């Protein structure tokens, strides 16, 4: 009797860790979202003309990239399938809505965004089925090629995309810029409005992604990352799961791209070139592969970094005027930082920071214990 009771308690206790981890994720999501939504208050305390950067504006970009990076993290970090061409889907989302909303001024912008997501999903599926048969470096090369093809098409299909001039100037349309995003008559025409829209939606996407990761689907993705043969043998249809997560990541990238088009109000192929794809991947790597929170940290860090580098000389009083155009060297510093990250925090900032915190805590305890021992000796 006693034995049976004990074993039942056992099972209950064992079930906890997975559920506890999920609760912890939800709590983190609430905290992070709350923290980010308070950013405009800080920005009000630290106005742009004082600190030489526009925090809310940069945070809108970060929010837009967050959609892309969450999708890429599912694809690259969890399922282990590299893509060096996701700027293409970012661009497909942007171009689809820009073309629809500029050519047909009656076209609802929110529907344009959804159309962009749908088109990217369709193209992602058509492309993903053959390309995902490749593995490792070959997949990287193929996706890199896809990204290049997309940029060439954006530039060369002049009648559709406005060529290198872009939309709307390159098109023969009446509007002088892409219309602002409008949902049920409410126009998201300022940075602040878009900030709240983008980050609330990012929180929703994050919530759905956490649910996917902590489910049989998420486990199947991690499983095929680790051993495709074993995942197959366990009944995971690996090629279908790979295609689906690729399509999902393409749709998330397009979602970000479509909002980007309505935020920047003009687009041209420049915004979707290879270095943008690389930036997305770098955000995933710097934040932490297979770590959704790390991805958000990576996005915010790398989105702010160029602005911080540019603003740096203004923050230090008495900088000689020759160093004021220090930002010309910003790319160099940017590259150096990446090398440092990859060398010393290969698992990303999030994991690196928590490791550093654990080290600091241990060290603190050691010092405290030693101090305690010394006191004891003194007596």
Partner 1 sequence: MSETRILEISGVTKLFGGLAALKDVSLEVAPGEIKGIIGPNGAGKTTLFDVLTGILTPTEGRVLFKGRDLIGMRPDQITAMGMIRTFQTIQLFAGMTVLENAMVGCHSQTRSGFLATSLRTPGARREEKEIIEDAHAVLKEVGLGTRAHETGTNLPYGQQRMLELARALASRPEILLLDEPAAGLNQYETGELSELLSGLRDRGLTILLVEHDMGLVMSVSDEVVVLDYGEIIAQGSPEDVQNDPRVIEAYLGIEAD
Q: How far apart are CA 179 and CA 97, in angstroms?
A: 10
Q: Which residue has the tokens 């709590």?
A: 27
Q: Is residue 219 at the binding interface for partner 1, with CB under 8 A as the rule? A: yes
Point out which span in 231-239, 254-262, 331-339, 370-378 binds partner 1 (CB under 8 A).
231-239
Residues 8, 10, 169, 373: which binds partner 1 (CB under 8 A)? 10
Binding test (CB under 8 A) with partner 1, winner from 30, 234, 319, 324: 234
Q: Which is nearer to partner 1, 87 or 231 (CB)?
A: 231
3-state secondary structure of 267: strand
CA–CA distance, 185 with 201 (Å, rounded to integer) = 18
Give the residue, chosen from 28, 57, 182, 211, that forms a contact with partner 1 under the rule CB under 8 A.
Answer: 211
Closest residue by Cα to residue 35 from 347, 293, 302: 293
Question: What minimum distance in Å lies between the beta carbon of 16 and partner 1?
Answer: 9
Q: Is 215 in the site for partner 1 (CB under 8 A)?
A: yes
Q: Which stretch binds partner 1 (CB under 8 A): 83-91, 224-232, 330-338, 352-360?
A: 224-232
For partner 1, the closer CB: 96 or 249: 249
Residues 103 to 122 in contact with partner 1, rule: CB under 8 A = none
Please give the DSSP secondary-structure letter assigned to residue 178: P
Residue choice 176, 190, 227, 366 for contact with partner 1 (CB under 8 A): 227
Distance CA 251, CA 245 (A): 10
Instruction: Single out the residue of 230, 324, 342, 373 in contact with partner 1 (rule: CB under 8 A).
Output: 230
Give the Å distances, CA to CA, from 201 to 35, 197, 198, 207.
Answer: 15, 6, 5, 10
Taking the C-alpha atoms of 250, 254, 260 and 261 in order, what is their torsion angle to the nearest 10 degrees? 140
Taken in order 138, 141, 147, 152, is the CA torsion positive or negative?
negative
Which residues between 161 and 180 bind partner 1 (CB under 8 A)? none
CA dist 284 and 296 (Å) reads: 8
Residues 6, 233, 339, 343: which binds partner 1 (CB under 8 A)?
Answer: 233
- Binding test (CB under 8 A) with partner 1, winner from 9, 15, 105, 275: 15
Residue pair 255/113 in contact (Cβ under 8 Å)? The answer is yes
Using CB under 8 A as the binding rule, whether residue 237 contacts partner 1 is answered as: yes
Q: Is there binding between residue 282 and partner 1 (CB under 8 A)?
A: no
User: Residues 166, 169, 175, 177: what is their CA dihedral angle, to the nearest 10 degrees?
Assistant: 60
In the chain, % helix, strand, coil (3-state, to 5) comes to: 80, 0, 20
Does residue number 71 form part of the binding site for partner 1 (CB under 8 A)? no
Closest to partner 1 by CB, 223 or 259: 223
Residue 6 touching partner 1 (CB under 8 A)? no
Cβ-based nearer residue to partner 1, 88 or 213: 213
Q: Which is nearer to partner 1, 78 or 195 (CB)?
A: 78
Angle between helices 136-156 and 109-131 (to 10 degrees): 140
216 binds partner 1 (CB under 8 A): yes
Using rule CB under 8 A, residue 3 touches partner 1: no
Asked if 209 is part of the footprint of partner 1 (rule: CB under 8 A), the reply reads yes
Q: How many CB atoms lie within 10 A of CB 361?
A: 10
Site residues, partner 1 (CB under 8 A): 10-11, 14-15, 17-18, 208-209, 211-212, 215-220, 222-223, 226-227, 229-238, 244-245, 248, 290
């Amino acid at each position: 009797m006693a034995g049976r009771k004990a074993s039942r308690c056992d099972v209950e206790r064992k079930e906890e860790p997975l559920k506890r981890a999920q609760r912890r994720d939800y709590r983190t999501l609430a905290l992070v979202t709350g923290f980010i939504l308070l950013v405009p208050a800080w920005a009000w305390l630290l106005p742009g003309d004082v600190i030489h950067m526009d925090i809310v504006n940069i945070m809108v970009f970060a929010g837009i990239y967050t959609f892309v990076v969450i999708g890429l993290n599912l694809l690259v970090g969890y399922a282990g399938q590299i893509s060096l061409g996701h700027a293409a889907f970012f661009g497909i989302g942007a171009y689809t809505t820009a073309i629809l909303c500029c050519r047909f001024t009656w076209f609802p912008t929110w529907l344009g965004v959804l159309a962009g997501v749908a088109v990217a999903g369709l193209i992602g599926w058509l492309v993903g089925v053959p390309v995902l048969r490749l593995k490792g470096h070959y997949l990287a090369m193929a996706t890199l090629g896809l990204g290049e093809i997309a940029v060439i098409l954006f530039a060369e299909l002049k009648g559709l995309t406005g060529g290198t001039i872009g939309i709307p100037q390159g098109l023969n349309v009446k509007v002088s810029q892409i219309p602002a995003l409008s949902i049920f008559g409410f126009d998201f025409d300022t940075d602040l409005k878009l900030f709240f829209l983008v980050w609330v939606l990012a929180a929703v996407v994050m919530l759905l992604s956490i649910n996917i990761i902590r489910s049989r689907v998420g486990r199947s993705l991690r499983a095929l990352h680790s051993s495709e043969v074993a995942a197959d043998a366990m009944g995971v249809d690996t090629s279908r799961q790979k295609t689906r997560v690729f399509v999902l990541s393409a749709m998330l990238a397009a979602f970000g791209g479509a909002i980007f088009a309505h935020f920047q109000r003009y687009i041209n192929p420049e915004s979707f070139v290879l270095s943008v794809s690389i930036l997305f991947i770098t955000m995933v790597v710097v934040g932490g592969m297979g770590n959704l929170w790390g991805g958000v940290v990576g996005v915010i860090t790398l989105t702010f970094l160029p602005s911080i580098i540019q603003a740096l000389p203004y923050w230090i009083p008495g900088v000689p005027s020759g160093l004021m155009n220090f930002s010309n060297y910003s790319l160099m510093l940017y590259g150096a930082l990446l090398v440092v990250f990859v060398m010393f925090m290969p698992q990303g900032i999030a994991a690196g920071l928590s490791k550093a915190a654990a080290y600091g805590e241990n060290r603190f305890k050691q010092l405290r214990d030693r101090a305690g021992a010394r006191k004891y000796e003194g007596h």
